[in-house]
Amino acid sequence: MSDFVNKTIGQLVKDTATRYPENTALVSLEFGIRQTYREFYKTCRDVAKGLMAMGIKRGDHVAVWTTNIPEWVYLQSALGMTGGVLVTINTNYQTHELEYILKQSDSTSLFLIDSYRDTSFYDTVRQVTPELDSCTTGSLVSEKLPLLKNVIYIGKKENTPGMFKFSDLIKMGEKITEQELDERMNSLSDGDVINMQYTSGTTGFPKGVMLTHHNIVNNARMVGDVMGMTEKDSLLIQVPMFHCFGCVMSTLNSIYHGSTMVILESFDALKALQFIAAERCTAVNGVPTMFVTMLNHPDFDKYDMSSLRTGIMAGALCPEEAMNQVRTKMHCPEIVIAFGQTESSPVMTMTRRDDPVKLRVASVGRLLPDIEGKIIDPETGHDAPVNVQGEIVTRSACIMQGYYKMPEATAEAIDKEGWLHTGDLGEIDENGYFKVTGRIKDMIIRGGENIYPRELEEFLYKNPKVMNVQVVGIPDKKYGEQVLAAIQLKANQTASAEEFVEFCKGKIARHKIPKYWEFVDSYPMTASGKIQKFKMKEIFEKKYPV
């Protein structure tokens, strides 16, 4: 008997606010926000009414380009109430990537913050849509982005030509009645697409993964159940909300279980330690790099971690030593490992809280209760025997509806029997524990961020000096992997690594910019003339040992 629930995100927030009205829902120490579920639900409703007043209809695509701020969480829930589809945008993106996603996603509205690190989001958006300077708010006519009408700014600037402010949105919503919002909420179905996550593809261009309320509410439910989350827990959310790790395994997981969301605008080891201690967090999610950085912080011992119990480590392989330190020094005896991908909303397997440490490090756990998975021979498609490497495939009610406007890529990812082909290599043991052994398509995972060589190669080809370029990942102690670009220059050209770094800056996300640059005369080839990336990796791994 399946435990699948048939709820929209709007219904979920309403139910939790009804069950635990006085429980703390959201804490953002950086922005001075502390709300109970009753207050949180009211704020989300106010934002939802603002979206309706702005003209957001069921199925409209709304892009959100911000760090982990309270408004992100409000928007996730409010879009879930109005049926607007949340299009998540990576905070590391630059002009080229932002324009591509807004265009490909057919977004009608864009929410943005002022800036993050050394990127001004405000200026970047103005570069992509210079028409903002002369348009009436809410009626943008952009040459490059014909569907984009509304740009909503979240920040301190007084004068923002062509853009609404977030406070304007709340004000506009006052003319929408509570009844009108309830009618909208009741008109939605949990089978509607509500979330579009962009994941870089091997084709070199990010693909919009279409996920429904049903997909992500149920994945959040299962993930939290494995962690043992209840209304007594509080989770430190330091992973970016634009990833499923943030918006399904963290925010929705908390909302489903009535737990407290303690949010950190962007990862900062010292703040993470301070917030866990101050808020007595019982759970913390992160990629291994985050845990290692926190454990090695010079002030680690000054903060009391004894309230911690559980958390999820995911996004990269976890070293055994780090796992043991998280269990003992961080007081997280029930820390678990999760594995999956955006296309499966995202989690497919998890270790369990009572699994022996060896299993929690050597495997990515067993299937979640309502999820199927197996290993197949990539050549024949037949099921592989126990402990034999093959491709990991999965099937469940958490599988995406497909890639937005990419039917061929969808058909390639999901076969006629409904199995999602992950492209990951792995094996499964006699007890049903999965192990990930590699990747069919050479994806690089740097500090929990997926980087696709093909996308980078296509970008670097734009440099007029480049004749050929191959990108590979090589092992790195801190990040798991680092990016290396091996470039063949055109005849009579010379170049330096610094020059190429400058070429990338401002155009592609910082984490994608290769750390290592090699200028080569040739590449290792097969007899049929195909470049052998695994041989390149071997050569450069020797040159840059971990």
What are the tens digits of pLDDT across the range 326-371? 999 999 999 999 999 999 999 999 999 999 888 888 899 999 999 9
The whole-angstrom separation of Cα 107 and Cα 86 is: 9
pLDDT band at residue 460 using 50, 70 and 90 as cut-offs: very high
The whole-angstrom separation of Cα 82 and Cα 351 is: 36
pLDDT at 204: 57
The whole-angstrom separation of Cα 110 and Cα 534 is: 41
pLDDT band at residue 205 using 50, 70 and 90 as cut-offs: confident
pLDDT at 530: 60
Instruction: Tell me whether residue 438 is exposed, middle or buried, using C-beta atoms within 10 angstroms of its C-beta: 0 to 12, 13 to 18, 19 or more.
Output: exposed
pLDDT at 91: 93
Residues in the chain: 546
Instruction: Tell me whether residue 468 is exposed, middle or buried, using C-beta atoms within 10 angstroms of its C-beta: 0 to 12, 13 to 18, 19 or more.
Output: middle
Helix (H, G, I), strand (E, B) or coil at 309: coil
Does 146 have pLDDT greater than 50?
Answer: yes
The whole-angstrom separation of Cα 171 and Cα 534 is: 57
Residues 238-256: pLDDT tens digits?
999 999 999 999 999 999 9
Alpha carbons within 13 angstroms on the beta-carbon side of residue 511 total: 17
Helix (H, G, I), strand (E, B) or coil at 519: strand
Mean pLDDT of 287-313: 94
Mean pLDDT of 501-516: 95
Tokens representing 386? 């126990």
DSSP state of 203: T
DSSP of 381-449:
-PBPPTT--EEEEEESTTS-SEETT-HHHHHHHB-TTS-EEEEEEEEE-TTS-EEEEEETT--EEETTE
Tokens representing 432? 């049903």
pLDDT at 34: 98
From the list 491, 492, 470, 474, the residue with the least C-alpha distance to 483 is: 474
Strand partners, 449: 446
| Vertex 493: Cα angle to 487 and 495 (nearest 5) | 60
CA dihedral 46, 52, 55, 58 (to 10 degrees): 130
Identify the CATH class of 444-543: alpha beta
Does 529 have pLDDT greater than 60?
Answer: no
The whole-angstrom separation of Cα 463 and Cα 66 is: 30
Share of the chain above pLDDT 70, in %: 97
DSSP state of 370: T
Does 1 have pLDDT greater than 60?
Answer: no
Instruction: Tell me whether residue 502 is exposed, middle or buried, using C-beta atoms within 10 angstroms of its C-beta: 0 to 12, 13 to 18, 19 or more.
Output: exposed
pLDDT band at residue 461 using 50, 70 and 90 as cut-offs: confident
Edge-to-edge order in the sheet of strand 466-476 = 466-476, 480-489, 516-519
pLDDT at 53: 98
| pTM for the predicted model, two decimal places | 0.86
Mean pLDDT of 447-476: 88
pLDDT at 347: 98
From the list 513, 532, 508, the residue with the least C-alpha distance to 206 is: 508
DSSP state of 137: T
The CA distances from residue 429 to 209, 304, 394, 426, in Å, are: 30, 39, 16, 10
Please, are residues 533 and 470 in contact by the beta-carbon 8 Å criterion? yes
Beta-strand (E) ranges in 9-60? Answer: 24-28, 33-36
Instruction: Tell me whether residue 526 is exposed, middle or buried, using C-beta atoms within 10 angstroms of its C-beta: 0 to 12, 13 to 18, 19 or more.
Output: exposed
Domain boundaries, the chain: 9-328, 444-543
Q: Which CATH architecture has domain 9-328?
A: 3-Layer(aba) Sandwich (3.40)
Tokens representing 166? 């977030």
Mean pLDDT of 390-416: 96
Distance from chain centroid for Cα 371: 21
Residues 4-59: pLDDT tens digits?
999 999 999 999 999 999 999 999 999 999 999 999 999 999 999 999 999 999 99
Round the average pLDDT of the chain to a whole number and report it.
Answer: 94
Tokens representing 524? 């290792």
The CA distances from residue 189 to 7, 58, 62, 192, in Å, are: 8, 10, 18, 6
**Residue appearing with tokens 């809410």:** 138
Helix, strand, coil distribution of the chain in percent, nearest 5: 35, 25, 40
Looking at this protein, which amino acid is placed at residue 514? P
Is residue 466 within a helix (H) or strand (E), and if so which, with residue range? strand 466-476
| Vertex 371: Cα angle to 365 and 377 (nearest 5) | 75
The whole-angstrom separation of Cα 465 and Cα 454 is: 18
